[in-house]
Structure 1
Amino acid sequence: MFLYNVSIIIEDSVHQSLLDWIKQQLLTNGDPALKLLKMLYSPHEGQTYCLQIVVEDEQAIEDFKAGLIQNLQEHIACNYQDKAFIFDSVMQYIPQQ
């Protein structure tokens, strides 16, 4: 199993409008496994949010990136250039036994 995390760092001046857009996209996505979190005590200026999803394999990550994440990247590039950016990470669950 894998955890795919996308962190979104947004300037305070535009964070609410981008957050509203993200929430709307999540409503239309309809995937209950997809979670939106706000990072508390972020070391970055502005606001930091994370989109996280747990998937079975790396192909599911690629599929997710080709959908919602690509839309997010395009939306930021068109509307929030130099005011928001994203970075992602992939983590694999390790059995405790």
Structure 2
Amino acid sequence: MYLYNISIIVENERHESLIQWVRENWLSTLPEGVKLLKMLDSPHEGQTYCVQLMFEYPSDIPNFQKEKLILLQEYIAENHLEKAFLFDSTMKYL
């Protein structure tokens, strides 16, 4: 089993509108079981959120990135350019 994590780092003045869009428009399009978390002690300026999903096979992740992650990336580029960014990581359960 694999945990796919998307970290979203956003400036303080933009975080409410970005997370509202994520909740209202993007999360509902994702697979069941998706988790949205807020990092409490982030080492970054602004606010940090994480979206976590589980995948049975690592080969499923590139499809998710092409079909779903791209929507978030496009929204950030169009509405929060240079005010928010994201990075992703994949972890394997042992």
TM range (shorter): over 0.9
* Residue pair 2:7, 2:88 contacting (<8 A) in 1 also: yes
Q: What residue is the counterpart of 1:85 in the other structure?
A: 85
Runs of 4+ in 1 over 2 A off after TM superposition: none
Aligned residues: 93
List alignment gaps of at least 5 residues for structure 2: none
TM-score, length-normalised on structure 2? 0.93
List alignment gaps of at least 5 residues for structure 1: none
Aligned amino acid, residue 93 of structure 1: Y
Matched ranges for 1:1-97 at <5 A? 1-24=1-24, 25-27=26-28, 29=29, 31-94=31-94
My pick for the range that moved more, 57-66 or 33-42, is 57-66
Aligned amino acid, residue 16 of structure 1: E
Give identity over the alignment, percent.
49
TM-score, length-normalised on structure 1? 0.90
**Higher helix proportion:** 2
Is the radius of gyration larger for structure 1 or structure 2? 1
**Following TM superposition, by how much is the alpha carbon of 1:63 offset from its aligned partner in structure 2, in angstroms?**
1.8
2:12 partner SS: coil
**Following TM superposition, by how much is the alpha carbon of 1:58 offset from its aligned partner in structure 2, in angstroms?**
1.3
